[in-house]
C-alpha cells in the first residue's frame, strides 16, 4: 500500500477492546498501536508509554493548544488524546495503525478525513457488560453505574461504524477483527498505485 490507514475500535466501557487489542498484536505483526495521552491516573498494571502517556491536565491542555492531537475528548472526567505526529508519519509510511478510542474520538477522526476503518465492539448482552465491569474491580459502585449510563448512550452511535463485532468469545472476536483488517488491506483503492505500476511494466 502506498499509504496506510487507521483501524478504529470503539466499545462501551467493559466491552473488551483493550484485551482484544493486546491479542491482535500477537498475530498481526505489521500493525502498530498509537499510544494515547490521558490525564487519568494509571491502573495498577498499566505502564507509562506502553498503555498511555499519563500527563497532568495542564500538560494536556498545552498539547491541545499546540494542536498536537488529531482528536481529543473528555471522558468520565478525564482527557484523552491521539497524537498527530505519530499518526501522520506512519500513514505516510504505509502502515496500519490501531486506535482504541471512544465514540467521541471516532467521530472526530471521521471529521479529519483520515483513511480509517471503524469497528464497533459490543457485548453479547447488557447483563454480560455489567458482569465484566464488576469483574475488573477497577471502579467503585458509583463509577460502574456512571459507566453503564454512558454505555447506553454510546450504543446509539453504532451507525457511525463500518463493522459491528459481538464480543461473545475473545477468540471469535479476534478472528472477526483480523478478517476485517485483511479485507481492508486488499481494497482496490489502497493498492491501485501498485497495480498501475505492474500494468505499465507489462506494456
What pTM was estimated for this model as a whole?
Answer: 0.82
pLDDT digits (tens, 9 = 90+) for 111-166: 888 889 999 999 888 888 888 777 776 677 888 788 888 888 888 999 999 999 99
Sequence-ordered list of residues with C-beta below 8 angstroms from that of 110, at least 6 positions apart, any chain: 116, 118, 160
- The domains of the chain are located at 5-34+95-202
- Residues 170-185 have a mean pLDDT of 93
- Looking at residue 184, what is its pLDDT? 93
CATH of domain 5-34+95-202: 3.40.50.300
The dihedral sign for the CA sequence 181, 187, 193, 198: positive
pLDDT band at residue 203 under the 50/70/90 scheme: low
Cα 94 to Cα 45, 99, 145, 185: the distances in Å are 32, 16, 42, 11
**What string of DSSP letters covers 66-79?**
TT-EEEEEEETTEE
Task: Tell me the C-alpha distance between 17 and 10, whole Å.
Answer: 7
pLDDT digits (tens, 9 = 90+) for 61-114: 999 999 999 999 888 789 999 999 999 999 988 899 999 888 888 998 988 888
Amino acid at each position: 500500500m502506498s499509504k496506510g490507514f487507521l483501524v478504529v475500535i470503539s466499545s462501551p466501557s467493559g466491552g473488551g477492546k483493550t484485551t482484544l487489542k493486546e491479542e491482535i498484536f500477537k498475530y498481526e505483526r505489521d500493525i502498530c498501536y498509537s499510544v494515547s495521552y490521558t490525564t487519568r491516573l494509571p491502573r495498577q498494571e498499566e505502564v507509562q508509554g506502553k498503555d498511555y502517556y499519563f500527563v497532568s491536565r495542564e500538560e494536556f491542555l498545552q498539547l491541545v493548544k499546540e494542536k498536537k492531537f488529531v482528536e481529543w475528548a473528555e471522558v468520565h472526567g478525564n482527557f484523552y488524546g491521539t497524537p498527530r505526529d505519530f499518526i501522520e508519519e506512519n500513514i505516510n509510511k504505509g502502515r496500519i495503525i490501531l486506535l482504541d478510542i471512544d465514540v467521541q474520538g471516532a467521530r472526530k477522526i471521521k471529521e479529519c478525513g483520515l483513511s480509517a476503518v471503524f469497528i464497533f465492539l459490543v457485548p453479547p448482552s447488557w447483563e454480560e457488560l455489567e458482569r465484566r465491569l464488576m469483574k475488573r474491580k477497577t471502579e467503585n459502585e458509583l463509577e460502574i453505574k456512571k459507566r453503564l449510563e454512558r454505555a447506553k448512550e454510546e450504543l446509539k452511535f453504532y451507525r457511525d461504524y463500518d463493522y459491528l463485532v459481538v464480543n461473545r468469545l475473545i477468540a471469535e472476536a479476534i478472528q472477526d477483527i483480523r478478517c476485517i483488517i485483511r479485507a481492508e488491506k486488499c481494497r482496490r483503492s489502497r493498492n491501485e498505485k501498485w497495480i498501475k505500476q505492474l500494468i505499465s511494466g507489462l506494456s
